[in-house]
Amino acid sequence: GIAAVEHRRAERTPIVDVDAVERGDIGWAEVADRILALEQTLLDQRLAEERSKREALELRLQELEAQEASSAATLPGNSLATQAARFPRFLPDESDPGAPGVVDRVDYARSGYLGGSDPLGLHLAWALRREGLRFLAPPLIANETVYAAATALGETAAAGKLFALDAASGSLHWEVAEYFDAGTGLQRSLQGMAASAALSPDGGILCIGQGLDLDRDARLVGLDTRSGETLWTIGSEFHFMGGPSIEGHLLVAGAGAVEGLSGLPAIAPGEVIGARVDTGEVLWRYPVIDPESAPVLSRGIAFIGSGENGHAVLALRTEADSVLAEQAIPREIWRSYLPSPVVGALALRGDTLIAVCSFSERAFATRPGQTVVVGLDRGTGSILWSRELQAGCAGGMAVRGGLGVVALRDGTVLGMDMDAEGQELWRVALDTGAEVASPPALTDSHAYIASVDGALFVLSTAPEGSTPAEGRILERHKLEGASGDGLSLLISAPVVGNGRLWVSGDTAGLVCMQSGEER
């Protein structure tokens, strides 16, 4: 409230009558409400000013781009075809820069849906649990294989292990606890992992980042999916808490700030890295504050969220440093500031980027706060719409068709109309009272949500007037192995498809459930 108080002091108008407070006519709760209301007014004014400045800047940029296009058309060797011949990889305007890889929650809609029949009447198919291992990272499912990361939390450091298993039976293909660090020439133990993995378009390379909140000097590793053998490593002085994204031969990943318990960066704030997925060759690094949301990589442009102390979404060109330097083109295309840290992965629907912003992104959040869901124009970064929700959020949104579903920390699940600027369609309160710290999986007619105490919910998302009604809880299950003490941290978003569901949790392990009778 300091800014609000200073604002009123400058205007020489009191926020409240001090005598009325001393008499007890006005309580401290009302004083706090008035300060918060004034803070909101000041914030709205600043946002309006920033919006006006941004609109004026966008108009000016459009004028300059039109002038540049008119001039460039007359210059030899400056056509798009000529540029494409000179720089065939990762050209932003290229119509087909390369096939996408498999990314966090399947695709950039972040639906977590692989296709096929929805899993209903869920029963346990198989589970992977190891003594002392905690499954903090979400599983990646592709080519009938599940890739999962586990962490052993030690007193001074966390060690990691990677698994590849048959998606249907759970039979083990391989597991690795070490990787070859090309930078040092040494065999090293994997660090703890909470980030999602990504898969190259040909399915041959598994890419995953290492490190937890307090870790530094982490590595992004590329592994042969057939054997788990290390193909390459990329080092950073930070840690990788968000999954990478892949398009063609290009990989983009964010390495986030190393934060203390205060939430302030202990060292430099973070960076975004562009590299070749086939060789691990680093093409560029760009400083960004705490870029721990999994990026969207589309048509040669990388979109990524800035988290703690950053509060923004950025669009970055992805050509190598040498290419941009030759043409004197900046890497950053636009940056749009938001009211709070971006949590979870950005989602993309058409030309609209969807960001979820909240101060409650951490598993044990100490800062309460509301959540704001924002739709941004992917071309300009302009805010198209925003919706404020009543509780904090620790994960992003899942989108399927015109429906977006987000789960809040207080156990509220909301369905939002993506064709009506995020207007609320329905809401459901999960009946166990447990917190939710991960995004849902979303099919054409069902949503799947996991809570931190190891409960798994199946919701109907059918249109109004149908049976069952929209937003209704159809099933609830307790995952075996979850501690049930509220500390099991079931933070993984489920992945569903072909009558099965996969989810990983802290003490619950890696779990596969399927439709029908228990095996």
pLDDT of residue 43: 58
In this prediction the pTM is 0.78
Whether residue 100 has a cis bond before it, omega within 30° of 0: no
- C-alpha separations of 401 from 51, 178, 405, 459 in Å: 29, 41, 11, 17
| Tens-digit pLDDT profile for residues 306-333 | 987 788 999 999 999 999 999 999 999 9
Structural contact between residues 4 and 35, judged by C-beta atoms closer than 8 angstroms: yes
Query: What is the three-class DSSP state of 327?
Result: helix
Q: Cα 59 to the chain's mean position, in Å? A: 31
Which one is predicted more confidently, 516 or 232? 232
The rounded percent of the chain whose pLDDT value lies above 90 is 50
Could you tell me the residue ranges of all domains in the chain? 2-64, 106-143+344-519, 177-337
Write the CB contacts of 333 (distance below 8 Å, at least 6 apart in sequence): 301, 315, 316, 317, 381
Specify which residues 446 forms β-bridges with.
460
Say if residues 344 and 363 touch (Cβ distance below 8 Å).
Answer: no
Amino acid occupying residue 125? A
Q: Which helix (H) or strand (E) holds 323?
A: helix 321-327
pLDDT digits (tens, 9 = 90+) for 118-177: 999 999 999 999 988 989 889 999 999 999 999 988 766 788 999 999 999 999 999 999
CATH number given to 177-337: 2.130.10.10
> Contact, 196 vs 396, CB < 8 A?
no
The C-alpha atoms of residue 420 and residue 441 are separated, in whole angstroms, by 21
CATH dotted code for 106-143+344-519: 2.130.10.10
Same fold, 106-143+344-519 and 177-337: yes
pLDDT band at 350 (very low <50, low <70, confident <90, very high): very high
User: E strands along 309-422, which residues?
Assistant: 312-317, 332-337, 342-349, 352-358, 371-377, 383-389, 398-400, 403-407, 412-417
Crossing angle, helix 28-72 and helix 2-11, to 10 degrees? 90
Which candidate, 500, 496, 511, places its Cα nearest to that of 113?
496
Q: Determine the Cα–Cα distance for residues 362 and 216; give it in Å rounded to an integer.
A: 18
Query: Which among 94, 74, 140 has a CA at the least distance from the CA of 494?
Result: 140
For the ranges 64-68, 93-97, 221-225, which has the lowest average pLDDT? 93-97
Nearest CA to 447 out of 480, 417, 479, 474 is that of: 474
pLDDT at 141: 95
Residue 21 pLDDT > 80: no
